[in-house]
Structures are given as C-alpha cells and as structure tokens.
Amino acid sequence: MNDTSPLHLLKYPIGLFKQKDSYSGEELNNFLKILEDAPDNYRKTIHQLKPDDLRKTYREGGWNILQLVHHVADIHLLHFLRMKKALTESESDSGTVIIDMDGWAKTPDVLDAPVEDSLLMFDGINRRYVQLLRTLDEAALEISYFHPVRNYRINQAQAMAMSAWHVNHHLAHIKIALGMDL
C-alpha cells in the first residue's frame, strides 16, 4: 500500500529507497553518474541563495536547506567510510557506527557554518567515493556490512544504490523548499 498523504509525499518526494537483491551493470553505471554529478547539482541549485533562503524548509518541522546540505556531506562521508571499512576488514560490522542524524543537524557547525564548507566537503569526499566505486569488481560489490539505521546487512552495490537515492532525495527536498520543479 502506497502512502499518498501530503506529508508522506513531502518527506519522500522521490519515493522510499527500494533495495534490490542485485543491480545490472547499467543500473550501477547510472548510480555512479548520479553520484558523480551530485555536488554540481547541489551547487547549481543553491548557488545564488541568500542566507535567508538557506533557512527555508520543505515542510513544517523539516530541516532547512542549510541543514540538508550539511547533512548530505556528513552522510556521504559516513557512507564512504562504512563501505571502505567493509572492503578492508574480513568481517565488517562497520555499520554499527550509529549517528543521531537529528542531533547532527542541530549542532552549531550545521546551524551556522557557511554552506560552502559542506559543498567543498561533499565535492572532495564524492571524488574519492566515486573513484572507489569505479574500482569495485563483482566480488567487491558483494562485500556486505551491517547498516544500523536500516537494521540489515547491505552489500556495496546496494550501498551505492542507497547513496544515489539519498543525494537525489535531499536535492528534491531543497527544490521543494525553493518552489522549484523536481
């Protein structure tokens, strides 16, 4: 059953993440392209915003644009570290690193730091992340780790799909906050 309530549609404007058991080469290449383009897409979307614009939200009680950009940079780093840890340890439960996303979104650096700081962070992490993802062969794509928020194991291909969904999910939130078409 699909929830089509207005609140659900604002929370998940591109839909919920739907993990598959496996992904085709074409799908993986599409995820890489989404991830490769993500920092530029964020930068293009917010490049001319004034400080007051960065305080706009996509829904009542939702994070503002500044918080969303900082969050995406933070979580992108976390995804990269979880994946890299899983690739370099024989049995990785690297996902057991749990963060309080709402807490992180309310720390002083998120509330007051220039959005440019997180755009730079996002761009730098993303370059390394995409470079790593391009090196993964079939065996490496099957290496899994425990994802503590979702409470299940996830392999590298699934993590790539989730990361691509995540950057598009929050970019849609920003566009809604700005009254832009998705």
Contact by Cβ (8 Å): 157, 28? yes
27 domain residue, yes or no: no
122 domain residue, yes or no: yes
First to last CA, the chain: 23
Confidence of residue 98 (pLDDT cuts 50, 70, 90): low
Tens-digit pLDDT profile for residues 117-145: 999 999 999 999 999 999 999 999 999 99
3 domain residue, yes or no: no
- Number of domains making up the chain: 1
127 domain residue, yes or no: yes
Q: Which domain holds residue 86?
A: 41-177
Check residue 63 and report its DSSP letter. Answer: P
Strand partners, 144: 155
13 domain residue, yes or no: no
18 domain residue, yes or no: no
Tens-digit pLDDT profile for residues 49-70: 999 999 999 999 999 999 999 9
121 domain residue, yes or no: yes
Q: Is 58 helix (H, G, I), strand (E, B) or coil?
A: coil
5 domain residue, yes or no: no
CATH of the domain at 64: 1.20.120.450
